[in-house]
Amino acid sequence: MAKLIDGKAVSAKVKAEVRAEADALKEKGIEIGLAVVIVGNNQASRVYVNNKKKACEEVGFTSFEYALPEETTEEELVDLVKKLNADDKVNGILVQLPLPKQINETAVINTIVPEKDVDAFHPENVGHIMIGDYSFLPCTPAGVMELIADTGIDPAGKNCVVIGRSNIVGKPMAMLLLHKNGTVTICHSKTADLKKKCAEADILVAAVGKAGFVTADMVKEGAVVIDVGMNRNAEGKLCGDVAFDECAEKAGFITPVPGGVGPMTIAMLMKNTLTAAKLANGIEV
């Protein structure tokens, strides 16, 4: 039976470390601020934004929230981002996705200055991640790396399989495992023999967005299984991409949903915002 990787416990540890550093900076007169922009009435987005505000309180950051109506134009949103770019009180800027259809997400992300892009979505930050010379990492993949580290298993030389190729999770996840000397395979909807490739993985990361997609026959005995999925099943219950009960019988380590990767994403956002504040004040990171 797999050992459970407790995302709540690991995220609490990360946030405690961030809090200690934020308190030390406060004593030097440095306040840390995170601006979160939400457009429209997406309920899931509202939950995420509330969780981010709560995390800011926990670590001692100032949280600036900008809730804009559904009919906000792209120009209005871009203008707001430009103002936040120029605001010294704001160290990190996060625009909650998805945005309403009249707004081009890429145009908005590209407007955020790279040094305040705490989601690490800006092309300049993505380029830095590719070459391994980065200040920020995308929050979810960075959180996954913390969870893998918590197992004590080193990705070096291991077969690492990532299911999913999104710009937010799949692609950067593969790069981070590669930076740790893992042998990485990215699987997706066009992959031949997907089950076979997954079943060879020492570390399997599922980020495909389909409830129960990963079944026990796709899991190698003793593997580390990380479930990034956040879905609702037929009964409306929150579940991941991994069929948890059957895969837990074979895996060595496994993350639950909820309580696995989710808390880590917000903890790493706090860590990125701390890094942004340090860089803005000429403090080594």
Judge whether 52 counts as a catalytic residue: yes
CA distance 242 to 256: 9
Question: Residue 5 in contact with residue 27, Cβ under 8 Å?
Answer: no
CA distance 187 to 195: 10
Question: Residue 284 in contact with residue 251, Cβ under 8 Å?
Answer: no
CA distance 149 to 116: 27
Per annotation, catalytic residue among 15, 96, 116, 180? 96
Q: Would you list the DSSP string of 61-97?
A: -EEEEEEE-TT--HHHHHHHHHHHHT-TT-SEEEEPS
Judge whether 96 counts as a catalytic residue: yes
Q: Would you list the DSSP string of 3-65?
A: EE--HHHHHHHHHHHHHHHHHHHHHTT---EEEEEEES--HHHHHHHHHHHHHHHHHT-EEEE
Q: In this structure, how many other beta carbons lie within 10 angstroms of the beta carbon of residue 222? A: 12
Per annotation, catalytic residue among 15, 116, 117, 119? 119
Judge whether 43 counts as a catalytic residue: no
- Tokens 């298993």: give the residue: 153
Which residues have a catalytic role annotated? 52, 96, 119
